[in-house]
Structure formats: C-alpha cells, structure tokens
Amino acid sequence: MSLTVSIRIRRLTASKAIGQNRHDLRQAIPGYVNQERTADNDIILVPANPTTLRQTCSERRAQRHCQRILKSNAAIAMGGIITFGTEAQAVIQALSKADQRAMYLSVGQQLAERLNTTLTGLVVHNDEAAPHAHFQMPGYDRDGVPLSKTVTREVTSQLQDIAGQVLAAQGLNITRGKAKQERVKDGEDRSKIIHRSVQQLHEDLPAEIAAAEQRRAEAEREAEEAEKKREKNACLAAKAKEDLEAGRGDVEKVQKRLKAYERRQAEAEKQIKALEQEQTDLEVAIARKQKTAGHIQGEMPQLVSAKKLLSKNLTVAPEDLADYHQQVAGYIRDTIAAKVESAVQAEKARIVQREQAVRAKESQLNGQEAELQAWHETLNTRENRLKNHDDVYAENTRLKQRLETVGMRVGSILGIHNASMNRGKVLRAVESASSMASFQKALAEQKLSLEVNRRNGPGG
C-alpha cells in the first residue's frame, strides 16, 4: 500500500543548518531539480538562520541553569522532511496550493507541539521527483532539554502516527506507513521491506550528493582564499626581512611585524592542509554515494515479451524463471563488478593526483623553511654585531673618562691651576712621550714653564 505519509528527522549543527537552508531556499540548485517547476515551490515559513537558532537554544538552556556554554558543534536545530508513498503523491498533487499549504502547516505544527518546541521553518518542494516539505525546529524544547535526548524510537513512531492522523482529519485517504517491525512480524516478504529502503535511497542520494558537492566547492573557495592570505603574508614577511637587512625603520617594530606575518602565514598553511583533507574526504564520500546511486538506477535486464502457453495451473514454466534468474545473476556479476572496478580505478587516480599535490606542497614548504632558517641565522649575526658595537662604544667611553681623570690628576701634580680646564696641555705631554724617561722630562719642562710664567706674571 503506497497511500502513506512518512516523517524523517535529523539533528543539524550550525554548518549543516546553513547547507539545509541553502537547499530549502534553492540558493544552491542541485542537478536533479526541474527548474521549470521551481516556481511551484512554497515557502510557508522562512527557515531561521543559525545565529537565531543558537540564540533560541541558549535562551531555553538558561532555564535549566546550565553552567557550560553551548558548544560550537552542538545541534542547534532539528530538521525534517514530510514525504509520501507513490499513490499518495498523486493525491497531494491534486490538491490546490492553499489546501497543500494548510495540510503541510498543520502537520508541521502538530509535530512541533508533540516535541514541545516551535516550528521555525517550512518549505514545500514541487520541483523534484516527488512532492515533499522540509521543516525546521530549534534543537532544544521549551523546557531547555535537547531534542536529541527526548526524541527516542518510540517518539519517532508517534510522529508517524501524528502525520497520518492530521491527513485523515482533513479527509485524505492517506495513513502512516506500516512499521518495519510489524511488517516482519506479520511475515511479510523481507525483500519487499529492503526494496522500500532502496527506494528511500533513490530519493535521498541525489540530495546528499548535491550537498557534498556544494560543500566541496565551498572548501575549494576557502582554500583559494587561504592560499591568497598565505601568499600575501609571505610577501609582507619578505619585505620585512629586506627592511631589517637594509636597516630601514625601527628594528624592534620591524621584527614584530615579521613575526606577525610569519604567524599568519603558518595559520594559513594549516588551514589549507585542513581544507585539502576535507576535500579529499568529500571526494571519497561523493564517489561512494555516486557508486551506490549508479547501482540503484541501473536498468535491470528485461525478459523478452512473448506469448507462452501456460500449464493448467497457470504458473510460469520453470525454465523461463531459470532463464530470468540467470540473466539477473549475469547482470550482477558483470555490470556491477565493472562499475565497482571503474570507481576503484578512478579513486586510485584521484589519490595519486592528491599525493602528488601534497608532495609538491611539502617541497615548497621545505624550501620556505630553509629560507626562514637562513634568515634567522642572518638576524642572529646582525644582533651579535650590534651587541659587539655597543660593547666597544662603552669601552671607548670608559677609557676616555679614565684618560681625562688621569690628565686632571697629573695637572694637579704639576701645580696647574684649573687642571680640568688645562688638561689638554697635560694630555699633549703624555701623547708626545715615547718612554717613561721622556715623559718625566716633559713633565719637568712643563712644570718649569708654568713656574716661570707665574713669576713673570701676566705682563712679564
């Protein structure tokens, strides 16, 4: 029976909420969307942005007097989707836009009421393979309890009941689907139950692949911006090095700028490595999802139509059934094996390409590291030279002061008045002496000359 409605929910962090909002509002259009029907979509409630959701969650948590702040990677929202079985889709599409809006809004509000929270987003999509609606609720209920703790298996089953009850109340012959456990308990064919999950994958995988490709593109853009930042700071660091070597500007300030540029450059390189790893992980995830989608979408071999005589009990001849089974087995053995091998080879090629890029980046970083090491050695040499210059200057100053002191003392010995003013004469006597004897002779002559001048007086 496909006259059914189904509810699926998942927790959303801030980054996931951004991606979901972009998908819901068609800010990022997946490849499987029929853009000619995008105008038929209906934004009943514009989804709240992550900032508003985080604020709502924080306010609700405050009621419980939580000491720790909300983590950056906490689930700030509960996202969900309302889908319908094959036959129910035709019933929904036959409704007017106003009736569809009332139905979706009633379901969303009743689900939010059951979870003791509020409905903050509801968008109807009619441009995909099947009509459905995405809804959004804050990640904490009105009492400040996280929905991740209150939404149990029993609660999710109750959400299916609520959706069926709302549609029944509106006169639609659509009910909730039969629980898997009950289907197994009733002895239903397990292959049919598994087939339902394959159908669900068929609906979900395109959206998941599109979201992963979108994030990969965003990571590539972020990596490009980080590379520009790294190159900019590398250039600024090189200029600061040139200024230091040329002695331009204040040495201390230039050194501080150099350290800041090198730190920013290192941070950018770290961010680039993280983004490259994320891109690699996304590529692997996309390849796996595409491989699974290819297996699901692959056409199974068809039996050739022909009129055959049936036995009296109206059953298919055993040989015909055996032929079909053989064809299916051949398809599984050959087609799927070929697709898997192709995917493996493609993944190996991507890994080799990524390894080459990593090696090139490592070589570049090693060169930069050697350049930085050489610069540090040059800087240390310059600092040592400056230190030696300061030491020599201090020693010269000390010797000059000592020489002046010696001059004044010798002047006093010679009886020179104002020895500090006449120390030049004494110093000239010292400079002209080549030995102790000549120095003593110079002192005697200087003393005699001074004595004669005193006796003769100013006018003598």
Q: Cβ contacts of residue 201 below 8 Å, gap of 6+?
A: 292, 293, 296
The pLDDT of residue 198 is 54
Average pLDDT, the chain: 80
User: What percent of the chain stands above pLDDT 70?
Assistant: 76
For the chain, what is the HEC assignment? CCCEEEEEEEEECHHHHHHHHHHHCCCCCCCCCCHHHHHHCEEEECCCCHHHHHHHHHHHHHCCCCCCCCCCCCCCEEEEEEEECHHHHHHHHHCCHHHHHHHHHHHHHHHHHHCCCCCCEEEEECCCCCCEEEEEEECECCCCCEHHHHCCHHHHHHHHHHHHHHHHHCCCCCEECCCHHHHHHCCCCHHHHHHHHHHHHHHHHHHHHHHHHHHHHHHHHHHHHHHHHHHHHHHHHHHHHHHHHHCCCCHHHHHHHHHHHHHHHHHHHHHHHHHHHHHHHHHHHHHHHHHHHHHHHCCCCCCCCCCCCCCCCCCCCHHHHHHHHHHHHHHHHHHHHHHHHHHHHHHHHHHHHHHHHHHHHHHHHHHHHHHHHHHHHHHHHHHHHHHHHHHHHHHHHHHHHHHHHHHHHHHHHHCCCCCCCCHHHHHHHHHHCCCHHHHHHHHHHHHHHHHHHHHHCCCC
Angle of CA points 407, 412, 416, to nearest 5°: 95
Tokens of 182: 């009950």
Q: Is it the case that residue 111 has pLDDT exceeding 80?
A: yes
The pLDDT of residue 46 is 95
The pLDDT of residue 337 is 73
The pLDDT of residue 44 is 95
Q: Cβ contacts of residue 196 below 8 Å, gap of 6+?
A: none
Using CA atoms, how far apart are residues 275 and 259, in angstroms rounded to an integer?
24
pLDDT in tens, 420-446: 545 566 666 566 655 666 666 766 776
Using CA atoms, how far apart are residues 105 and 88, in angstroms rounded to an integer?
18
Using CA atoms, how far apart are residues 291 and 183, in angstroms rounded to an integer?
29
Please check whether residue 261 is in contact with residue 236, taking contact to mean a CB–CB distance below 8 angstroms: yes
Highest mean pLDDT among 23-32, 181-190, 227-236 belongs to: 227-236
Please check whether residue 87 is in contact with residue 94, taking contact to mean a CB–CB distance below 8 angstroms: no
The pLDDT of residue 196 is 44
Please check whether residue 18 is in contact with residue 50, taking contact to mean a CB–CB distance below 8 angstroms: yes
Local confidence band at 305 (pLDDT 50, 70, 90 cut-offs): very low
**From 110-114, 294-298, 437-441, 442-446, the region with the lowest mean pLDDT:** 294-298
- The more confidently predicted of residues 84 and 418 is 84
Please check whether residue 115 is in contact with residue 11, taking contact to mean a CB–CB distance below 8 angstroms: no
For the beta sheet containing 132-138, the strands, ordered from the edge strand earlier in sequence to the opposite edge, are 42-45, 121-125, 132-138, 77-84, 4-12, 175-176
Q: Is it the case that residue 343 has pLDDT exceeding 60?
A: yes
**From 329-338, 364-373, 428-437, the region with the lowest mean pLDDT:** 428-437
The pLDDT of residue 163 is 93
Domain 4-177: CATH class, spelled out: alpha beta
User: What percent of the chain stands above pLDDT 90?
Assistant: 25
- The more confidently predicted of residues 217 and 48 is 48
Strands 175-176, 4-12: pairing kind: parallel
Q: Is it the case that residue 105 has pLDDT exceeding 80?
A: yes
The pLDDT of residue 415 is 54
Q: Is it the case that residue 224 has pLDDT exceeding 50?
A: yes
Local confidence band at 306 (pLDDT 50, 70, 90 cut-offs): very low
Domain boundaries, the chain: 4-177, 404-456
Q: Is it the case that residue 257 has pLDDT exceeding 80?
A: yes
- According to DSSP, the residues that pair with 5 across neighbouring strands are 84, 176
- The more confidently predicted of residues 190 and 68 is 68
Local confidence band at 408 (pLDDT 50, 70, 90 cut-offs): low
The pLDDT of residue 300 is 40
The pLDDT of residue 85 is 87
Q: Is it the case that residue 194 has pLDDT exceeding 60?
A: no
Q: Is it the case that residue 310 has pLDDT exceeding 50?
A: no
- The more confidently predicted of residues 435 and 366 is 366
